[in-house]
Amino acid sequence: MILLTPEIRAALRANDIARIDAVATGKREPDPVPVVRFFNPLGPATWLATELDPDGILFGLADLGFGCPELGSFALGELKALRLPFGLGIERDILFEGRHPLSVYAEAARRAGSLVLAEGMLKRAARSLRGGR
């Protein structure tokens, strides 16, 4: 599977450039909505990415399934190179649509101890705010 389409790559790069510009001009760093979600199809590891630097380093929220999701950097090349049993690799969630700033996902994941559990809680909360629809 192609982990980054040209459109996703462009959105990630735009977020990186916006952050660099904010730092350079003394503005508050943006809190972008995640652009892409990666996951291990055979395990609990999940990543949300908001930025991509020119060297292929992503920034976002990583949850390797040990109960301590954290914000940080991870290498696109390492995600691509990871080989799992049955010839599988890390996948891109083609249905993912970021709905909250990264800080919201990070705080919910920290409280839940899991990004996957946090995503479910955020969906339920949003549905409740819309009146159960």
Does a structural domain hold residue 95? yes
Q: How many domains does the chain fold into?
A: 1
The model carries a pTM of: 0.92
Does a structural domain hold residue 83? yes
- Tell me the pLDDT tens digit for each residue of 63-108: 999 999 999 999 999 999 999 999 999 999 999 999 999 999 999 9
Distances (CA, A) of 109 to 47, 77, 88, 99: 11, 25, 26, 15
Structural domain of 113: 6-129
Does a structural domain hold residue 18? yes
Residue 129: pLDDT over 90: no
Alpha carbons 98 and 90: distance in angstroms, whole number: 19
Q: Please, what is the average pLDDT of the chain?
A: 95
Q: How confident is the model at residue 128 (pLDDT cuts 50, 70, 90)?
A: confident
Does a structural domain hold residue 99? yes
Q: 86: which DSSP letter?
A: G
Does a structural domain hold residue 105? yes
Name residue 12's amino acid.
Answer: L
Q: Which residue has the higher pLDDT, 127 or 11?
A: 11
- Tell me the pLDDT tens digit for each residue of 114-125: 999 999 999 888
Does a structural domain hold residue 54? yes
Does a structural domain hold residue 26? yes
**How many beta carbons lie within 10 A of that of residue 51, not counting itself?**
24
Residue 59 forms beta bridges with which residues? 51, 73
Does a structural domain hold residue 21? yes
Q: What is the pLDDT of residue 131?
A: 76
Alpha carbons 35 and 15: distance in angstroms, whole number: 9
